[in-house]
Chains A and B, each alone.
Chain A
Amino acid sequence: SQKIEQNSEALNIQEGKTATLTCNYTNYSPAYLQWYRQDPGRGPVFLLLIRENEKEKRKERLKVTFDTTLKQSLFHITASQPADSATYLCAHTGFQKLVFGTGTRLLVSP
């Protein structure tokens, strides 16, 4: 079955550093990956989409990479801020529906 895995342990970093979150997938080659942010008590909010023929995508302080050989996507937040603290979910397409990872919680300390 298609699997998408994210580090379940929370990532703690200091303000100003770069946060890097990992998403690994198996048994499938998705056409694209999406990254969402989820704050407590709220629904996920779309951040970035990267297609399989794109190596890298950027949006302000966010950067996503997609390595189809390693079957991995990395999500970077540069110059992180406490306001970036949230859970970040990756998702890939699977038979015309999104399959989400369980998310990684990011905590940015001042």
Chain B
Amino acid sequence: DAGVIQSPRHEVTEMGQEVTLRCKPISGHDYLFWYRQTMMRGLELLIYFNNNVPIDDSGMPEDRFSAKMPNASFSTLKIQPSEPRDSAVYFCASSLRGLAEGGETQYFGPGTRLLVL
């Protein structure tokens, strides 16, 4: 398996523009997670899905952020409009089972480095 795939790897945009990040989880994994990593706050969970359904979006910063998972092999994280404080590395991760089912480990993608000017 190719692992979790994310695109683009780097994104530079101007404030106010829409940004769409993409993720393809590992085939057969039922859980998908979106994280944001910054120097100041570390790795933070934004939202996670189980079988394509959003379960917990309490980490989504504000209404400018939205995430979808139209099918088991694809998810998007959209920021509209983007702001300079959104600059960070965004990771997608997937797991076979949920945490409550036995301490399942997560497999991370390479991340998308976003810079909003």
Contacts and interface: CB of A to CB of B under 8 A. Distances in A.
Contact of A103 (B33, B42, B45, B103): B42
A101 B44 CA distance: 9
A100 B42 contact: yes
Given A42-B111, A96-B56, A49 B103 contact: yes
Interface string A95-106: 111111111000
Given A43-B108, A51-B103, A96 B42 contact: no
A99 B45 CA distance: 8
Given A96-B56, A97-B48, A97-B56, A44 B103 contact: no
B99 interface: yes
Interface string B87-117: 0000101000011100101111111000000
Contacts of B99: 93, 96-98
A51 B4 CA distance: 26
A34 B109 CA distance: 18
A98 B56 contact: no
Interface residues of B, number: 23
Contacts of B42: 89, 100-103
Given A42-B111, A44-B43, A31 B103 contact: yes
* Ranked 10 nearest A-B pairs via Cβ: A43-B108, A102-B42, A46-B105, A100-B43, A32-B103, A96-B99, A93-B99, A44-B108, A96-B100, A43-B91
26 contacts: A32-B103, A34-B103, A34-B105, A43-B91, A43-B93, A43-B108, A43-B110, A43-B111, A44-B91, A46-B105, A49-B105, A89-B43, A93-B99, A95-B56, A96-B98, A96-B99, A96-B100, A97-B45, A97-B99, A98-B99, A98-B106, A99-B45, A100-B42, A102-B41, A102-B42, A103-B43
